[in-house]
């Protein structure tokens, strides 16, 4: 029998009862904050859901995320967006609880979460039938799970396990699976984020790796069972847009196959307006593009071999939404894309619908674009707050773990962005303000 056990049994019954009561009160206190935040956020999001029922945008989902589209069709649009509000509210409460482990008080993080649940740029995304809503919620969950696991590593309890840690690992696996369900870009985001977590959570590497493999296997299995993605997806349009910028940068000899897709003047114009693949696809002959797919792929591989700088130039131009605080000015497609409400978005109560539409229209003032509709600024501010907290408390791993999901999003967008849609960086619009509350912590909280 150990000494600690002997001493524990030697204590009077009333002392042991008081200790159990203190632990129970402490546990209830820790749970009170996330539950209150989640409930408040869900209430606000339910108002938005009622205002824009059945969905604010995306009532007809496209084929870029076939598994998500199949899920929406299975449960119908209205219930699907209702489930998204519950998941987003849970994710916000979960992340607030994770930040509390680093000393962030609920008086700071709670109101920020409520504001994010009510602001049109973020709230309207949650109640939209778009894969970006699921990807954003998954990024919140992944960040929260990573922060909680890192806190256990700092406390020296990461290897001990327990119900709470199993919950964190389950949440992380669910987030990875949800990201993969949204398409190849989401899967890329998940892989980058998990790679960062594997580097800085050595005590849980085996479990993280196994859970990630299992989570990524779910969408692959579902695809093989009857919901396969389109064979090429946006790959041929991305490559064609790369070629358009290369042809604009330097004169090339006539290519009959490519010229059948679009006249040389259209290729040049699309290269000058390189912020979106639509600059070319709005002009080209779609049937001819499908027939010339092999020739497009061959020309792109040659371009990558001979002039990789031009491919990178094109990808960075379209990936500006991931890194640029301000929208570009080079052509009609350079502005931040904010989709308009769907025609069927009528809401359950007209005054509520009118208020939601009016508030969103109000915040579309061009001067507010960089602040409310582009995630890059908030990504940098959140990262700066994490750096400050890490410096104050000598916790270097906090910076990469806190920024893993946003970094994965940015790198995935650099590789595969098709336009400047603000929804692609919505994860930073949520994560940045919440991570910014780390700057309020001056001394580490002990509880």
d(CA 414, CA 340): 25
Burial of 62 (0-12, 13-18, 19+ CB in 10 A): exposed
- Torsion, CA 164, CA 170, CA 172, CA 176, rounded to 10: 180
- Domain boundaries of the chain, sorted by first residue: 17-229+366-440, 235-318
pTM for the full predicted model:
0.91
Alpha helices in 233-349 (DSSP H): 235-249, 256-261, 264-272, 278-281, 286-291, 293-306, 308-318, 320-323
Contact 109, 432 (CB under 8 A): no
What are the angstrom distances between the C-alpha of 48 and each of 3, 123, 282, 415? 58, 7, 34, 33
DSSP label at residue 254: -
Distance (Å, whole) CA 53 – CA 349? 9
Q: What would the two tokens of residue 236 be?
A: 């041929």
- Predicted confidence (pLDDT) per residue in 288-335, tens digit: 998 998 999 999 999 999 999 999 999 999 999 999 999 988 788 999
- Amino acid 31: pLDDT: 83
Cβ proximity of 369 and 421 under 8 Å: no
Tell me whether residue 352 is exposed, middle or buried, using C-beta atoms within 10 angstroms of its C-beta: 0 to 12, 13 to 18, 19 or more.
middle
Q: Which residues contact 140 (CB under 8 A, 6 or more apart)?
A: 88, 91, 92, 94, 95, 405, 427, 430, 431
Integer Cα distance of 111 and 107 in angstroms: 7
- Residue pair 102/438 in contact by the 8 Å Cβ criterion: yes
Q: What is the DSSP string of 115-129?
A: HHHHSHHHHHHHTSS
What is the per-residue pLDDT for 228? Answer: 46
Residues of the chain with pLDDT under 50: 1-8, 227-232, 446-447
- Contact (CB, 8 A) for 434 and 136: no
């Amino acid at each position: 029998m150990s000494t600690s056990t002997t001493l524990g049994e030697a204590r009077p019954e009333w002392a042991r009862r008081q200790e159990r009561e203190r632990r129970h009160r402490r546990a209830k206190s820790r749970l009170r904050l996330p539950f209150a935040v989640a409930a408040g956020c869900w209430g606000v999001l339910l108002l938005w859901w009622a205002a824009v029922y059945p969905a604010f945008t995306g009532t007809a989902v496209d084929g870029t995320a076939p598994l998500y589209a199949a899920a929406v069709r299975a449960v119908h649009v209205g219930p699907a967006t209702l489930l998204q509000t519950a998941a987003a509210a849970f994710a916000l409460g979960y992340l607030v609880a994770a930040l509390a482990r680093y000393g962030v008080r609920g008086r700071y993080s709670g109101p920020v979460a409520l504001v994010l649940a009510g602001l049109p740029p973020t709230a309207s995304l949650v109640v939209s039938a778009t894969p970006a809503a699921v990807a954003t919620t998954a990024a919140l969950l992944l960040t929260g799970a990573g922060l909680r696991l890192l806190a256990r590593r700092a406390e020296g309890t990461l290897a001990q396990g327990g119900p709470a840690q199993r919950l964190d690992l389950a949440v992380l696996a669910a987030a990875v699976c949800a990201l993969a369900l949204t398409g190849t870009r989401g899967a890329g985001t998940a892989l980058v984020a998990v790679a960062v977590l594997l580097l800085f959570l050595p005590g849980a590497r085996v479990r993280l790796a196994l859970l990630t493999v299992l989570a990524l296997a779910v969408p692959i299995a579902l695809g093989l069972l009857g919901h396969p993605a389109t064979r090429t997806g946006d790959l041929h349009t991305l490559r064609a847009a790369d070629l358009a910028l290369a042809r604009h940068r330097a004169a090339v000899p006539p290519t009959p196959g490519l010229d059948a897709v679009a006249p040389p003047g259209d290729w040049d114009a699309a290269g000058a307006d390189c912020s979106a693949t639509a600059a070319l696809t709005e002009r080209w002959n779609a049937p001819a593009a499908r027939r010339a797919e092999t020739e497009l792929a061959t020309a792109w591989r040659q371009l990558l071999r001979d002039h990789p700088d031009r491919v990178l130039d094109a990808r960075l131009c379209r990936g500006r939404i991931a890194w640029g605080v301000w929208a570009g000015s080079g052509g009609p497609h350079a502005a931040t894309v904010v989709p308009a409400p769907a025609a069927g978005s009528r809401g359950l109560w007209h005054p509520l619908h009118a208020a939601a539409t009016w508030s969103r229209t109000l915040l579309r003032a061009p001067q507010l674009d960089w602040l409310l509709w582009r995630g890059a600024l908030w990504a940098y501010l959140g990262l700066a707050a994490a750096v400050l907290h890490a410096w104050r408390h000598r916790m270097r791993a906090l910076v990469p773990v806190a920024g893993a999901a946003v970094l994965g999003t940015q790198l995935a967008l650099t590789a595969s962005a098709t336009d400047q849609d603000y929804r692609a960086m919505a994860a930073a619009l949520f994560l940045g303000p919440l991570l910014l509350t780390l700057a309020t912590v001056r001394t580490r909280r002990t509880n």
